[in-house]
């Protein structure tokens, strides 16, 4: 057996363990401006929130009152899980007395949460989905948290947060945490997409991959085919195409973050289309689709509503939903081509009447 003290210890291990998230964020900015330091500090607080949620998830099965439903219904009209509320409160707690973020907007809160003591200094708003994929929480399958960082514009004195109703190009940063076999944090501040893995023995997120690129095509298509008869005909046209052509495989976990992460790394497309009854679909723009669209474009992929670029879409209200088609450029374009073809077909039919 090889003599252990001659075992090769990768020379990068010490340096690598020092490539922490806050250091990496600072390096994204060529100068150490106040904004660069703010964003680095904000990302560090998000990492703390991620560690607290990850710890709770890893023990939830052994903790009374951690799993299951609260019995409440949220502004989305959805039943709320106890973990949704716990994670929502974690993000609030990590930003109190931080001087960083003065407004939090969450899937779980009808109106933004203000932290007035931060406002004079911290002119940022964090929008977030505290637990994405809640249906997976009680069965120990992957869930995520999604976040989007915006600059507060104006004073918002009436607390209506109208300045948040702008397109996704206004985002300063975005990312998600994937609570899976390991806890992975993926982020962008507009200079590429980078992933970090939580090292529980250090309590630090350590750099795993820099400048991630989505392949321009991939085999995976990811959507809930249980909605087949509720979709517009154009989406059924697309599904019939991938069913009949070699080289496609279906993957769907019921949690957007996990499904997107697969596509970010391996290529393919995720869809949550609108339906005839609910043309706007299920996913929320400001704290689910827009942050992921920012990541997708930064990684060389694409994101659309099916008919327009997702990051150009201007919401009418805080919890606005839109259809989502996101992933490899060629696969997003393929879905869009079926939507365009069906629209052309319907227009021609209409003209004949």
Residues that bind ligand AHG in the complex, under the rule CB under 6 A: 78, 107, 129, 132-135, 224, 254-256, 272, 282
Q: What minimum distance in Å lies between the beta carbon of 33 and ligand AHG?
A: 34
- The terminus-to-terminus CA distance of the chain in angstroms comes to 83
Q: What minimum distance in Å lies between the beta carbon of 127 and ligand AHG?
A: 13
CA dist 50 and 194 (Å) reads 16
- CA distances to 31, 94, 134 from 67, rounded to whole Å, are 45, 22, 10
Site string for Mn ion, 53-92 (x = CB under 5 A): ----------------------------------------
Pick the closer one to ligand AHG by CB: 24 or 282.
282
Name residue 196's beta-bridge partners: 185, 207
Residue 105, both tokens: 């907007």
Report the SS3 class of residue 304: strand
- Size of residue set near Mn ion by CB under 5 A: 4
Name residue 185's beta-bridge partners: 177, 196
Sole binder of Mn ion in the list 38, 107, 232, 336 (CB under 5 A): 107
Report the candidate in 236, 247, 255 with the shortest Cα–Cα distance to residue 328: 247
Task: Answer yes or no whether residue 129 interacts with Mn ion by CB under 5 A.
Answer: yes
Residue 107, both tokens: 């899937």
Q: Which stretch binds Mn ion (CB under 5 A): 10-18, 131-139, 181-189, 212-220?
A: 131-139
Contact 194, 184 (CB under 8 A): no
Tell whether the torsion through CA atoms of 301, 306, 309 and 315 is positive or negative: negative
Q: What minimum distance in Å lies between the beta carbon of 224 and ligand AHG?
A: 3
Q: What minimum distance in Å lies between the beta carbon of 145 and Mn ion?
A: 8
Residue 282's binding partner among Mn ion, ligand AHG, none (Cβ under 5 to 8 angstroms by kind) is ligand AHG
Pick the closer one to ligand AHG by CB: 122 or 133.
133
- CA distances to 9, 152, 213, 276 from 100, rounded to whole Å, are 40, 11, 31, 42
Task: Answer yes or no whether residue 297 interacts with Mn ion by CB under 5 A.
Answer: no
Q: What minimum distance in Å lies between the beta carbon of 225 and ligand AHG?
A: 10
* Contacts to Mn ion by CB under 5 A: 107, 129, 131-132
């Amino acid at each position: 057996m090889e003599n252990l003290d001659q075992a090769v210890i990768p020379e990068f291990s010490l340096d690598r363990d020092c490539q922490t998230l806050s250091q990496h964020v600072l390096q994204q900015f060529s100068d150490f401006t106040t904004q660069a330091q703010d964003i680095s500090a904000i990302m560090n607080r998000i990492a703390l929130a991620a560690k607290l949620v990850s710890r709770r998830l890893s023990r939830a099965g052994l903790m009374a009152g951690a799993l299951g439903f609260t019995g409440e219904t949220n502004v989305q009209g959805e039943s709320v899980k106890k973990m949704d509320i716990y994670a929502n409160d974690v993000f609030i707690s990590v930003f109190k007395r931080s001087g960083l973020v003065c407004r939090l907007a969450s899937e779980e809160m009808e109106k933004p949460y203000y932290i007035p003591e931060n406002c004079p200094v911290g002119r940022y708003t964090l929008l977030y989905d505290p637990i994405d994929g809640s249906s997976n929480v009680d069965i120990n399958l992957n869930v995520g948290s999604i976040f989007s960082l915006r600059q507060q514009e104006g004073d918002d004195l009436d607390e209506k947060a109208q300045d948040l109703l702008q397109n996704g190009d206004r985002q300063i940063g975005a990312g998600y945490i994937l609570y899976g076999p390991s806890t992975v944090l993926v982020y962008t501040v507009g200079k590429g997409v980078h992933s970090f893995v939580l090292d529980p023995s250090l309590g630090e997120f350590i750099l795993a991959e820099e400048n991630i690129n989505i392949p321009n095509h991939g085999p995976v298509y990811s959507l809930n085919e249980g909605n087949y008869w509720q979709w517009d005909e154009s989406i059924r046209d697309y599904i019939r195409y991938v069913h009949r052509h070699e080289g496609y495989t279906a993957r769907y976990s019921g949690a957007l973050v996990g499904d997107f992460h697969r596509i970010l790394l391996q290529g393919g497309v995720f869809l949550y289309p609108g339906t005839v009854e609910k043309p706007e679909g299920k996913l929320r723009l400001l704290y689910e689709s827009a942050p992921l669209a920012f990541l997708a474009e930064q990684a060389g992929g694409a994101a659309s509503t099916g008919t327009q670029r997702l990051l150009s879409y201007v919401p009418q209200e805080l919890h606005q939903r839109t259809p989502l088609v996101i992933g490899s450029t060629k696969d997003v374009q393929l879905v869009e081509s079926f939507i365009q073809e069906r629209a052309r077909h319907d227009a021609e039919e209409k003209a004949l009447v």
